Chains A and B, each alone.
Chain A
């Protein structure tokens, strides 16, 4: 349309809707919806989430579909290659590897989630108390953390395994003794940062009580950091558990974790590689997916990324 074609009648004063001047066109999204929208755009993270859900479902229900339990031995069926009857083959006692892998995954995930939850609980409390009280309390609590970081984790774990019976809860305890330190540090840093933010100052100026400031301002703005760190805690716990089992101080037979299975498979790698490959694949899948999902969540939950 060129200039001259515009009708003359349009050259009259228009009523501008004053309300529209302040109108916000964008959809009304909660922080959660906004985060989910962002996560959905991240193909790798969504893929990882999907794979993780499948792995977890298999860990929960995989053994149910197996014809054998994970501890049934059948000496006529030792070292069978994968087949219809035994999808992942059998081991040296003729146990169904399919059932054992999903049982192992179940235990590995159980250990990892429990350890991550304990880390979260201790770490958040410790970090929050340290940051909120400040001063001498903070100084003492920080020294405790430094001492814990100074002692090599492996030594603590090995010592602990020597005095306690081998089992899931020993490993969980071993993982949790020092595992929460990282969470405590991150939470402390985040709360210290938040404490000097203007919205917290505004709350103080308004006379909001400390309890309300913690509940309404500090905790909701720390959730992102906590969730993301927990996401990275899980693969690292799985890895540590696998490592402990692999060097022989983890779970005892006939119980299986992914680390135990990999250790068994490693001994017969040249003849029966499938005994190593399948559990290794599962552990890689879990670790990679958790890392990618954690990265995706960090990008999605960070309010600074919003436009």
Chain B
């Protein structure tokens, strides 16, 4: 199985006035054709910076310090900016969190879609472009595509705007769609609509999706595989069911336990104490050691390596090490 996107040991550093923030520290993952990979993590866990690094969209003070990103055999991190720009439009598209600021307020919706189409198909005539743009608007489920074509972003609601953004992102049938918190700014009823739309479109045009989110409900709804990030590291990755039902890493467990379940009553809500580490000066060992209920001495001193739990499921935690299991029952068992 050859993967579409292969990220190997990615390290991203961001220079700030107070020092260098090691925002992403040795992240590796791959994306298969047609699948949806969800990257889950809290703010500051490095999930957004990871995909920005992949896309070559790091802020000016950020740079890839180490690691490679391969897409279909091409090393993206080595490409010149102009070729990267081409890839960003044609092969990889991106949807951002805020539907208010992602669209140009002075241009009609139709024009904005036509512009993207024109960029990649300069051979199309104006009429073809318009036809394709309207088709695109219809595809994302907006009513009266012809009317919408001539409207400005401020005439649309947040949910409609997010649909337009999806229409623009998918205008060139990208191989990968990166969605950075696409539903966070939306209300729940609208969020459900957008998730349904993304699933439906993925079936239609066979694109792979990288979804960045902190909402585990959204992940459960749409993802095939899950990667959990914490403190700039990938702490657990596996198939959807692996991560939700055979949870291995204490952070993932804590995260799942800290969401109240809608269909259970009188439950006790678990909360992870403390706050995430400062990545200006990341801990030497496991980034979660300071908040973990099962911290061992080794966790504070050494960074855990990945333990493969199955072909698809791996986690970076010392509790999964043979020696921790021998040590007694205060380890993984009672978690």
A–B direct touch, CB within 8 Å, in complex? yes
Q: Which residues of A are in contact with B by a Cβ distance under 8 Å?
A: 1, 3, 6, 8-14, 16, 18, 20-22, 25-26, 37-38, 41, 307
A13 touching B302, Cβ below 8 Å: no
Q: For A25, list chain B residues within 8 Å (CB).
A: 278, 280-281
Point out the residue from A3, A9, A16, A26 that lies within 8 Å of B295, measured CB to CB.
A16
Taking CB as reference atom, which chain A residue is nearest B21?
A: A307
Q: Dominant SS at the B interface? A: loop
* B interface residue count range (under 10 / 10 to 19 / 20 to 34 / 35 or more): 20 to 34
B324 touching A11, Cβ below 8 Å: yes
Whether a CB of chain A sits under 8 angstroms from the CB of B268 is no
B18 touching A307, Cβ below 8 Å: yes
Known: A11-B318, A14-B297, A21-B275. 20 other contacts (CB 8 A): A6-B298, A8-B323, A10-B298, A12-B297, A13-B296, A13-B331, A14-B289, A14-B295, A16-B290, A16-B292, A16-B295, A18-B273, A20-B290, A21-B273, A21-B290, A25-B278, A25-B281, A37-B17, A307-B16, A307-B18
Q: For B324, list chain A residues within 8 Å (CB).
A: 11
Whether a CB of chain A sits under 8 angstroms from the CB of B299 is yes
Q: For B326, list chain A residues within 8 Å (CB).
A: 11
Taking CB as reference atom, which chain A residue is nearest B274?
A: A21
A41 touching B17, Cβ below 8 Å: yes
Q: How far is the CB of A68 from chain B (nearest CB, A)?
A: 49
Q: For B298, list chain A residues within 8 Å (CB).
A: 6, 10-11
CA–CA, A164 and B241, complex, Å: 86
Q: Which residues of B are in contact with A by a Cβ distance under 8 Å?
A: 16-18, 273-275, 278, 280-281, 289-292, 294-302, 305, 318, 321, 323-324, 326-327, 330-331
Q: How far is the CB of A224 from chain B (nearest CB, A)?
A: 17
Taking CB as reference atom, which chain A residue is nearest B326?
A: A11
A26 touching B18, Cβ below 8 Å: yes
Q: How far is the CB of B79 from chain A (nearest CB, A)?
A: 30
Point out the residue from A10, A21, A38 that lies within 8 Å of B291, measured CB to CB.
A21
Q: How far is the CB of A35 from chain B (nearest CB, A)?
A: 11
CA–CA, A20 and B277, complex, Å: 11
B299 touching A14, Cβ below 8 Å: yes
Q: How far is the CB of A43 from chain B (nearest CB, A)?
A: 13
CA–CA, A37 and B280, complex, Å: 17
Q: For B299, list chain A residues within 8 Å (CB).
A: 14
A11 touching B327, Cβ below 8 Å: yes
CA–CA, A307 and B305, complex, Å: 31
Q: For B275, list chain A residues within 8 Å (CB).
A: 21-22
